[in-house]
C-alpha cells in the first residue's frame, strides 16, 4: 500500500491501535467484525509458510512477545500450524511444509514507540536480521514510527506505532 493510501485509510490517526484495543475489548472470536469507528475489519487472520517450523515458532514467540502476542493454538496432523494472537484469537499463523516465499510484509501495531523498539530488540535477539531500525518514517506520514526485521525466511516483519509522542 502506498503511503498516500495509508493516510487515506485512516491509519495515520491518533487513536490507540485497533490491535491493541482488541486485546482488552474483543470476545473469544475477536469481535463482531466491525471496528469501533464502524468500518469493516476485513482481514480476519493471515498466515505465512515457513521453511523451518520450530525455528520460526521460536522466532515469533520471542519477537511478538513485546506486542502482547503469544501462542494461542497449535494444529498438528497433516501439517503443523501455529496461531499467535493477543488474547485468545489467533490472527497470525505460520505453517510448515508450505512454499516459503520470502518477501511478504506484515506490520504489527505497537501502542507506543517503546514497544516498537522492544519488538526490534527481541526480534534481533531471536535471530532476526535488521531491515530498518526503529525510527520515524515521515515518507509514510509524520508520526509513522516503524521498526523492521527479516524473519528466518526473509519475510519483512514490522512493528509500527502511528501515535505522536
CB 56 within 8 A of CB 71: no
- Would you call 146 helix, strand, or coil by DSSP? strand
* The three cell numbers locating residue 165: 509522542
The sign one gets for the Cα dihedral 120, 147, 127, 73 is positive
In angstroms, give the least distance from the CB of 72 to ligand GSH.
Answer: 26
- Would you call 144 helix, strand, or coil by DSSP? coil
Nearer Cβ to ligand GSH (90/134): 134
In angstroms, give the least distance from the CB of 94 to ligand GSH.
Answer: 19
Hey, which residues does 129 pair with through a beta bridge?
150
Report if residue 137 touches ligand GSH, rule: CB under 6 A: yes
In angstroms, give the least distance from the CB of 156 to ligand GSH.
Answer: 5
Binding to ligand GSH (CB under 6 A): which residues in 105-134?
A: 105, 131-132
Number of residues that bind ligand GSH (CB under 6 A): 6
DSSP strand pairing (70-75 vs 145-150): unpaired
Nearer Cβ to ligand GSH (58/136): 136
Distance CA 6, CA 133 (A): 21
Distance CA 73, CA 134 (A): 30
- Would you call 160 helix, strand, or coil by DSSP? strand
C-beta nearest to ligand GSH: residue: 132
Binding map of ligand GSH across residues 146-165, x = CB under 6 A, - = no contact: --x-------x---------
Binding to ligand GSH (CB under 6 A): which residues in 70-109?
A: 105
Binding to ligand GSH (CB under 6 A): which residues in 2-61?
A: none
In angstroms, give the least distance from the CB of 148 to ligand GSH.
Answer: 5
- Would you call 148 helix, strand, or coil by DSSP? strand
Task: Name the site residues for ligand GSH (rule: CB under 6 A).
Answer: 105, 131-132, 137, 148, 156
Amino acid at each position: 500500500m502506498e503511503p498516500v493510501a495509508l493516510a487515506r485509510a485512516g491509519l495515520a490517526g491518533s487513536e490507540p491501535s485497533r490491535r491493541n484495543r482488541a486485546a482488552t475489548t474483543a470476545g473469544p472470536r475477536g469481535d463482531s467484525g466491525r471496528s469501533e469507528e464502524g468500518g469493516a475489519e476485513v482481514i480476519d487472520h493471515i498466515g505465512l509458510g515457513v521453511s523451518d517450523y520450530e525455528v520460526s515458532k521460536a522466532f515469533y514467540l520471542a519477537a511478538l512477545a513485546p506486542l502482547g502476542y503469544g501462542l494461542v493454538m497449535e494444529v498438528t496432523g497433516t501439517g503443523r500450524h501455529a496461531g499467535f494472537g493477543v488474547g485468545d484469537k489467533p490472527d497470525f499463523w505460520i505453517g510448515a511444509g508450505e512454499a516459503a516465499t520470502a518477501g511478504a510484509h506484515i506490520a504489527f501495531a505497537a501502542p507506543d514507540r517503546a514497544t516498537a523498539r522492544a519488538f526490534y530488540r527481541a526480534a534481533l535477539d531471536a535471530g532476526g536480521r535488521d531491515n530498518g531500525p526503529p525510527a520515524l518514517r515521515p515518507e509514510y506520514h509524520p508520526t509513522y514510527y516503524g521498526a523492521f526485521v527479516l524473519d528466518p525466511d526473509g519475510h519483512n516483519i514490522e512493528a509500527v506505532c502511528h501515535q505522536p509522542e
